[in-house]
Amino acid sequence: MILSAPFAFLLLGLAVIVWGTKVVLDNAVVVARHHGVSDFFVGVVVLAIGSDLPELAVTVHAALKAVAGQDTAGLIIGNAIGSCFGQLGLVVGLGGLLGSLQLERARVVRHGGALLAATGLLALVGLDGTVDRWEGLLLVLAFAAYLYAVLREEELLNGRRANRANRTKPGEFRITAHWLRLVVGITLVVLSAELIVRMAMTLAVQWGVDQSYIGIAIVGIGTSLPEVVISIAAVLRRRVGMSVGNLIGSNVLDTLLPVGVASMMAPLGFDHDLLIFDLPMLASLTVLVLVFLLLRTGVRWPQAAVILAAYGSYLVSITRGL
């Protein structure tokens, strides 16, 4: 009976994720067409922020414990880094196996550069072993600046007049209904992912696994499930812009916002091993993905296999370090 209940919840969570993802994509496409914005913009702003709610929820909960005097820095920072690895390794890897991930070269350079800069900024604020409140504010402001740049880019690339010409207008009442369904779909995906994360956390604690490893390999992967299922479903539906936009937006957010918000609530200790191993590995995987995206063919199954192998090697290396 002890095993059957978690298994039943696992099946329920998987079923809800699949259905919720369909709701998200169906309505995201309608919203994008109505407002005259690109699939990439919807992926970066709407889907990335919405699907990143699990990471933010874990961060705030852990930060409240830190305020109360518990040491949760390893979980907070590990979760942020682990989520980035999961999204780069799983989303790009599986997406490339199932289809083809491509993006305009200019966008790869701009947003890839922003992603690498975010990783560098996180390493910079953690150099002294602590992320204080002012450094946390810097991370939050950096994310706000990135969002502003994304908005400006969308305006410049599409133009207001072109947007109006390309809009499909289902009517204000109907578009509001699509927005509500989009929010409901994201909520369902997030809540179902939370079920899976809670079971993984329970098992990890029972096994006595290290806190940082839980953050990187278990919570990081688990809280990335919304991005994984949404992005892969987008690839299968040939909405590649939404998939890559969701990936890049989520990684920029995960690199900057969780650690920034948590350290503004309570200063965080920054493990030296994360600086000398995990962040350089994350930067290397990011560069690898960006180089593949710059190829004329984009990321297909040969490149996807390399990305999955690199991600698997990282997981093996941190497992051996326990």
Through-space distance between the first and last CA atoms of the chain, rounded to whole angstroms: 31
Orientation angle between helical segments 172-207 and 225-236, nearest 10 degrees? 130
Query: Range with the lowest mean pLDDT among 10-24, 247-261, 273-287?
Result: 10-24
Residue 199 pLDDT greater than 70, yes or no: no
Per-position DSSP letters for 117-163, written without gaps between them: HHHHHHHHHTTTSEE-HHHHHHHHHHHHHHHHHHHHHHHHHH-HHHH
Whether the full predicted model's pTM is greater than 0.85, yes or no, is no
CA distances from 298 to 28, 96, 246, 303 (A): 24, 9, 17, 9
Assess contact for 55 and 83: CB atoms under 8 A.
yes
Q: Mean pLDDT highest for which of 55-64, 133-142, 158-167, 266-275?
A: 133-142
Number of other residues whose CB lies within 10 A of the CB of residue 208: 7
Higher pLDDT, 287 or 41: 287
Quote the pLDDT of residue 98. 85
Assess contact for 152 and 266: CB atoms under 8 A.
no
Residue 74, amino acid: G
Query: Range with the lowest mean pLDDT among 46-50, 192-196, 272-276, 309-313?
Result: 192-196
Mean pLDDT of 284-301: 92
Mean pLDDT of 286-310: 92
Residue 226, amino acid: P
Quote the pLDDT of residue 231. 80
Q: Following CA atoms 284, 46, 90, 288 in sequence, which dihedral angle do they give, to the nearest 10 degrees?
A: -20
Strand 130-131 and strand 268-269: pairing?
Answer: antiparallel
228 burial via Cβ count (<10 Å: 0-12, 13-18, 19+) = buried
Q: What is the pLDDT of residues 94-152, one digit of tens each?
A: 888 888 888 888 889 999 999 999 999 999 999 999 999 999 999 999 999 999 999 88
Residue 103, amino acid: L
Domain 17-320 is found in CATH 1.20.1420.30: yes
Nearest-angstrom CA–CA distance, 198 and 201: 5
Q: Which residues of 284-312 are buried (b: 16+ CB within 10 A; e: fewer)?
A: ebbebbbebbeeeebbbeebbebbbebbe
